[in-house]
Amino acid sequence: MKFLSITLLFLMPCATFAQSGRLAAGDPASSAAPDRSVKELFEEANGYFRTKAAEYDAKKIAPTPERIEQVRREQRELAARYAAEAEARKTLTTDDRYYIGMLHWIAVNLDGTVENLSKYVAAPDADPERAQKARYTIVVSLAKQHKTGPAESLLTEYLGQQPLKASEHWRMDVELAKAYEDRKEFTKMLPHASQAFTAGRLLLGDPQAADLTIDHVVDTGILAFDAYGETGQQDRAEGVLDDLRALGVSKSSPSLFYYAVDQKIRYLIETGRKDKAMTLYAATMASISNSFPEKAKQDYALQRFKDRRKTYELLGVKAPEFTSSDQLWFPGSSRSIDDLKGKVVMLDFWATWCGPCVEAVPEMKELNDQFSSQGLMILGLTRYYGESYGMPKDRDTELAQVKAFREKKQIPWDFVVANGQQAQILYGAMLLPTTVLIDRKGIVRYVATGTNSQRSAEVRRMVEKLISEK
């Protein structure tokens, strides 16, 4: 990696697209001398990332995730101290209020941000351009706090003033859409999500929206897709996915192309149109060579879809029986798929040597704690792996390790240990971890491999949906 890129890596996380959380104000006694202006304090805190990135560049220190997070934390702490020091001053100007509010924004203290920037906007001598920046920042802060009423009012006020920045409008729509989604107010979510998706595509590559990436556009596309889907507008929901697929082709991104088509196939199956879904699958496989002239990209897309065929075949049909006489269930006893009807069943294909599987345990425990009383039943499916996977050669010893793992992690659900790969083959779970969700009628409704924050959120949403189905 060229060290020129270190600065960019450091600056990306501090962009306003990623603000979250909150930090205490800290001890003003350790802050800067009182003869420095509040604007100077803000400029130092705001430029902290750039300064540290330059230092790392000069020393040729690689920007690891841990170092980046450390610098982010230091920046938030510095901003919090400076905000507290500034607010303790006896005399504050209108501009001081603006810079205090922006210090709170860097520190991710949303209450302090809203309070000080609101005072600035209300001041008769506020600079019009900074007042617009303040309105934008207040709207985002309020939306993050789910205070959608005041946020909507201030957004309207923002749109009636100058200057208007499309990137700021985009961000306000995104945050309001997320706030409404969290509250399941999908009718109110829809206009913001739809506008954000349209604007995001137009802004992509615009120098005035340099922080906006294709990932942001995809995120807003999924917001729009969810909003249309939840309000019963299937054609428009599919249209969003078609737009994302086209974006993947135009940007020569086979991963985005795969993501969009995979989402559409699963959506068609979920809405009772499996024949149409499988037709789309076949048409997609035939079109990949035309969509991506480069062979490496063709191969990537083809392999991803080949790997998913088993999942598409499983979705929307009765779950195959995975129990067999050679399996060991503990601490409960073996049960068939028919025995489990009436429950929402999560099959977790995992192994003790699989790091992502182990990392997913806390989130699964949260799901179990929240939904087991409402019918969720988790089963941890694994098998004997032996020496080739670094496990003991003796199966009794390996089984003892699996049992010890369950006790150490205080896992409340049953484990199912198999001799072979039959269950994995049945469910296309050859990669770990794989999550399968089966509804109360015994129908497979969700299959996914791997773990990340987006996947975890997707699993939670699907569990909530299946639990609500009686």
- pLDDT tens for 276-335 read 999 999 999 999 999 999 999 999 999 999 999 999 999 999 999 998 888 999 999 999
Checking if the pLDDT of 14 tops 70, the result is no
Helices (H) and strands (E) in the chain, counts: 20, 6
pLDDT at residue 392, rounded to an integer:
86
Over residues 383-418, the pLDDT tens digits come to 999 987 888 889 999 999 999 999 999 999 999 999
Q: Could you give the angle at the alpha carbon of 262 between the alpha carbons of 177 and 357, nearest 5°?
A: 85
Nearest to 310 by CA among 349, 354, 255, 363: 349
Scanning the structure block, which residue is given the tokens 């699907």?
462
Q: What is the C-alpha separation between 74 and 91, in angstroms, rounded?
A: 28
CB-CB contact of 449 with 434 (8 Å): yes
Report the greatest alpha carbon distance in the chain: 80
Mean local confidence (pLDDT), 229-258: 98
Report CA 325 to chain centroid distance, whole Å.
40
For residues 382 and 351, give the distance between their C-alpha atoms in angstroms, rounded to a whole number: 6
Cα separation, 340 vs 439, in Å, equals 10
Query: Token pair for residue 297?
Result: 């990209």
- CATH code at 328-468: 3.40.30.10
User: 223-236: string of b/e by CB count within 10 Å (b at 16+)?
Assistant: bbbbbbbbeeeeeb
Residue 20 pLDDT exceeds 60: no
pLDDT for residue 25 is more than 60: no
| Secondary structure element (H or E) that encloses residue 383, with its range | strand 376-383
List of residues 6+ apart from 127 with CB closer than 8 A: 95, 98
Which of helix, strand or coil describes residue 318?
strand
Q: Report the pLDDT value the prediction gives residue 33, as an integer from 0 to 100.
A: 58
pLDDT at position 232: 97
Instruction: Give the 3-state secondary structure of residue 133.
Output: helix
Residue 29 above 60 pLDDT?
Answer: no
Categorise residue 342: left if φ over 0, alpha if ψ from -120 to 50, beta otherwise. Answer: left
pLDDT of residue 454: 85
Q: Is the CB of residue 269 less than 8 Å from the CB of residue 443?
A: no
**Amino acid at position 288, single letter:** I
Global pTM exceeds 0.85: yes
With 0-12 CB in 10 A as exposed, 13-18 as middle and 19+ as buried, what is 261?
buried
d(CA 258, CA 297): 11
Q: Quick one: pLDDT at residue 326?
A: 83
Residue 428 pLDDT exceeds 80: yes
- How much is the pLDDT for 390? 87
* Domain range list for the chain: 4-126, 234-314, 328-468
Q: Which residues contact 97 (CB under 8 A, 6 or more apart)?
A: 116, 117, 119, 120, 123
pLDDT at 220 exceeding the cut of 80: yes
**Which secondary structure element, helix H or strand E, spans residue 235, and what is its range?**
helix 234-250
Dump pLDDT digits (tens) for 144-157.
Answer: 999 999 999 999 99
More reliable by pLDDT, 30 or 223: 223
Mean pLDDT rounded to a whole number for the chain: 93
> Given its phi and psi angles, is residue 446 left (phi above 0), alpha (psi -120 to 50 degrees) or beta?
beta
Q: In the structure, what pLDDT confidence band is assigned to residue 32 with cuts at 50, 70 and 90?
A: low
At which residue do the structure tokens 């496990």 appear?
391
Structure tokens belonging to residue 118:
């609101």
Say whether pLDDT at 117 is over 80: yes
Measure the CA–CA gap between 357 and 364, rounded to whole angstroms.
10
Mean local confidence (pLDDT), 128-134 = 99
| CA–CA separation, 135 and 204 (whole Å) | 24
